[in-house]
A and B are shown apart, each in its own frame.
Chain A
Amino acid sequence: MIRLDELQRRAKEITAAVNPVSDDIVAIAPWKAEEVPRIIEHCLSCEAPLVVGNGALSTGVRFDLSKLQKIKPDETSLVVHVEAGVKLGHLEERLHAYNLTLGPIPGELREHSVGGAIAGRSYFKLGRYFSYWEDPLLSLDVILPNGNYYHTTPAPRRASGPDLTKLLAGSEGTLGIIMSARLRVYTRTRSAREAVWHLPTLEAAGLAARKLLRAGLCCSVLYAEEHPGKALLGARLEGSMASLHDARLQEAEALLGPTQQDPHELIQRFSTPQKSLPTPRAEIFVPYEEVSAVLALCPERSAATLTAKLPEVALLSLENVSPVKLFMLARTHRGTASPASALYEAGTQFGASTLGAAYASLQAMKRALDPKHLFAKGALGL
Chain B
Amino acid sequence: MDTLLHQALLGLVGAENFSEDPEDKLSYARDLWPRNTLLARGGAPPQYPPEAVVWPRDAKQLSALVLLCRANNMPFVPFGAGSGVCGGTIALRGGLCVDMKHMKRLLWSDAERGLARIECGINGEILEESLNRRGLTLGHFPSSIYCSTLGGFLAARSAGQLSTKYGKIEDMVVSAEVVLPDGSIVEVGAERPDLLQALVGAEGTLGFFTQATMRVHPLAEERLLRGVKLPDVEAGTRMIRELLHAGIRPAVVRLYDELDTWMALAGGKKDPEQKSEKSEGSILEALRQRLPEDKITRAAFSFALQLAPQVGFLADAGPKLLGAGCLLILAFEGTKRVAQAEEAAALEIAGRLGAKDLGRSPGEAWLQKRYAVSYRLSKVFQAGAFADTMEVAVTWDRLLPLYDAVRHALQSEAVVMAHFSHAYHEGCSIYFTFSTSAPDTQSSLERYDRLWKRALNAALAVGASSSHHHGIGLLKAGHLRAELGPGGFLLDALKQGFDAQHLSNPGKLGFQK
Contact = CB atoms under 8 A, between A and B. Distances in A.
A216 interface: yes
A151 B188 contact: no
Interface string B462-480: 0111111111100010001
A168 B308 CA distance: 47
Interface in A264-311: 285, 287-289
**Which of A163, A217, A240, A358 has the most chain B CB atoms inside 10 A of its CB?**
A358
A133 B215 contact: yes
B194 A163 contact: yes
A91 B139 CA distance: 35
Interface in B429-443: 429
A171 interface: yes
Contacts of A246: 341
A346 B192 CA distance: 12
Contact of B496 (A133, A247, A248, A368): A368
B483 A160 contact: yes
A29 B146 CA distance: 57
Given A155-B464, A241-B345, A176 B490 contact: yes
B234 interface: no
Contacts of A355: 186, 188, 191, 195
Interface stretch (B35-43, B167-175, B322-330): B167-175
Given A134-B424, A323-B215, A163 B463 contact: no
B451 interface: no
A241 B247 contact: yes
Contacts of A244: 246-248, 341-342, 345
Contacts, number: 295
> A interface, how many residues as a size bin?
35 or more
A170 B494 contact: no
A358 B180 contact: yes
Contacts of A74: 395, 397
Interface in A199-240: 210, 214-217, 238-240
A150 B493 CA distance: 14
A352 to B, nearest CB: 11
A250 interface: yes
A335 interface: no
A170 B426 contact: no
Interface stretch (A11-19, A39-47, A57-65, A75-83): A75-83
A243 B248 CA distance: 11
Contact of A364 (B159, B172, B249, B496): B496
Contacts of A367: 497
A167 B247 contact: no
Contacts of B395: 74, 76-77, 79, 138, 154-156
A155 B217 CA distance: 26
A157 B463 CA distance: 13
A82 to B, nearest CB: 14
A130 interface: yes
Interface residues of B, number: 98
A144 B486 contact: yes
Given A325-B190, A358-B195, A130 B247 contact: yes
Most buried by A among B241, B426, B509: B426
B435 to A, nearest CB: 23
Contacts of B198: 162-164, 166-167
Given A163-B170, A364-B500, A380-B193, A156 B115 contact: no
Contact of B167 (A133, A154, A366): A133
A369 interface: yes
B201 interface: yes
A246 B193 CA distance: 39
Contact of B427 (A156, A160, A174): A156
B429 A350 contact: no
B169 to A, nearest CB: 9
Contact of B245 (A78, A163, A214, A288): A78
Contact of A162 (B114, B241, B247, B494): B494
Given A160-B483, A214-B114, A166 B467 contact: no
A161 B480 contact: yes
Interface string B338-377: 1011101100100000000000000000000000000000
Contact of A243 (B341, B429, B476, B497): B341
B335 interface: yes
B335 A167 contact: no
B481 to A, nearest CB: 10
Contacts of B490: 144, 150, 164, 167-168, 175-176, 369
Interface in B231-250: 241, 244-249
B194 A130 contact: no
A87 to B, nearest CB: 22
B396 A76 contact: yes
A251 B335 contact: yes
Contact of B215 (A76, A168, A247, A324): A324
A159 B249 contact: no
A216 B341 contact: no
20 contacts: A78-B426, A79-B426, A130-B248, A153-B463, A154-B395, A154-B463, A155-B463, A157-B393, A160-B465, A160-B467, A161-B509, A162-B202, A215-B334, A241-B348, A246-B341, A251-B338, A254-B337, A324-B115, A369-B493, A380-B193
Which 8 interchain pairs have the tightest Cβ spacing?
A365-B497, A357-B184, A239-B247, A247-B341, A159-B157, A148-B486, A170-B192, A368-B496
Given A216-B217, A216-B249, 14 more contacts: A133-B171, A144-B489, A153-B463, A155-B393, A157-B393, A157-B429, A160-B466, A160-B480, A162-B201, A167-B490, A216-B338, A247-B340, A350-B191, A369-B489
Interface of A: 74, 76-79, 121, 129-131, 133-134, 138, 144, 146, 148-164, 166-172, 174-176, 184, 186-187, 210, 214-217, 238-241, 243-244, 246-248, 250-251, 254, 285, 287-289, 322-325, 343, 345-346, 350, 354-358, 360-369, 380
